[in-house]
Amino acid sequence: MSDAAIIAPQRAWGKGRLVAKSERGGTRIAELYQEGCAKIRLPKTFDASMEAVLINSSGGVTGGDRLEWSFAAGAGTSLTLTTQACEKIYKASAGTASITTHISVAAGARVDWLPQETILFDRASLSRSLEVDLAPDACFLAVEAVLLGRKAMGEAVHAGLFRDRWRVRSGGKLVHAENLTLADDMAKLAARPATLGGAAAFATLLYAAPDCEAMLSKLRGMLAPVVQAGVSHYKVGGRDKLVARLVAADGFELRKILVPLISHLRKDASVPKVWTL
């Protein structure tokens, strides 16, 4: 066998880290690091918050690719994290892609984790995790949306692997944990009434903050017209949290639902500018 025949395909790798601090009445950079295909851009804001746009310069993810993100919001800061575009998870010829995200939120700080949708293509293979450490009075909003192909392009996902693991701790105590796995015959799984009922888009929204109860009534009212959606309010380890789950026919319908929900939980602030309808 020739050397060319045994050379493994090149895989993308990236690592990005951002630490924010409170200074001069606003949120400033304390540390910024980026390596490989992971890039972080900081568009100008006109208030005390900071917005960071995450970019995967490889243009998508496939089997064997690895991305590592790490963010820390210092005391009293306000940080919004989003992505330049939807993250496309392409067919994997070999291996499983890995995306890990670690977020810490200090006392009196707030982080909004608002990446645009993850698009799974047929025979994609992805394992990702979200680890969050909150101070007892910190605020955290997270939205993760997933599309099984792009309906407008006539795409469908028949098989593949998608694993999603969330662990959120407050004051060192576990307050939210979930594991999602879609594997093998994903089309059959998605068709079941107990999963997606044939829909191609779904999202999970988590809000952990002292004002959860005050936000609940309006949030339920906004979701009332949506057939496949629900929101629950919990108290775990002294921490309030809201968890909403949504299913929609396609990405456009899902985003139309998500945008006003996100704005409500951001105290009527708009979604990041890179989000569009």
pLDDT band of residue 146 (cuts 50, 70, 90) is very high
Is pLDDT at 237 greater than 80 in this prediction? no
Q: Could you tell me if 61 and 92 are in contact, meaning their C-beta atoms sit under 8 angstroms apart?
A: no
Within a domain: residue 217? yes
The whole-number pLDDT of residue 2 equals 54
Within a domain: residue 105? yes
* Complete DSSP assignment for 133-157: EE-TT-EEEEEEEEEES-GGGT---
Residue pLDDT, tens place only, 192-205: 988 899 899 999 99
Within a domain: residue 20? yes
The whole-number pLDDT of residue 6 equals 61
Residue pLDDT, tens place only, 38-63: 999 999 998 999 999 999 999 899 99
Within a domain: residue 6? no
Within a domain: residue 120? yes
pTM of the model: 0.94
DSSP H or E run through 219: helix 212-223
Read off φ and ψ for residue 273, nearest 5 degrees.
Answer: -60, -25
Mean pLDDT in residue range 51-78: 97
Within a domain: residue 251? yes
CA distances in angstroms from 192 to 82, 119, 124, 185, 198, listed in the order given: 31, 20, 20, 12, 7
Domain count, the chain: 1
CA distances in angstroms from 114 to 63, 95, 155, 197, 199, listed in the order given: 24, 27, 25, 26, 22
Cα angle: 269, vertex 25, 114; to 5 degrees: 35
The whole-number pLDDT of residue 93 equals 87
The whole-number pLDDT of residue 158 equals 92
Parent domain of 22: 13-275
The whole-number pLDDT of residue 194 equals 86
The whole-number pLDDT of residue 221 equals 95
CA distances in angstroms from 76 to 5, 107, 177, 190, listed in the order given: 55, 7, 26, 42
Distance of CA 128 to the CA centre of its chain: 10
| 6-15, 62-71, 120-129, 171-180: least confident range | 6-15
Within a domain: residue 151? yes
The whole-number pLDDT of residue 277 equals 65
- Of the two residues 277 and 214, the one the predictor is more confident about is 214
- Of the two residues 153 and 135, the one the predictor is more confident about is 135
- In the predicted model, what is the mean pLDDT of the chain? 93
Is pLDDT at 5 greater than 60 in this prediction? no
Token pair 């009196």 is found at 108
Q: Which pair of tokens denotes residue 159?
A: 């098989």
Ramachandran sector of residue 195 (left: φ over 0; alpha: ψ -120 to 50; beta: rest): alpha
Query: What b/e readout covers 243-260, taking b as 16+ CB neighbours within 10 angstroms?
Result: bbebbbebbebbbebbee
Read off φ and ψ for residue 5, nearest 5 degrees.
Answer: -75, -20
Within a domain: residue 1? no
The whole-number pLDDT of residue 7 equals 64
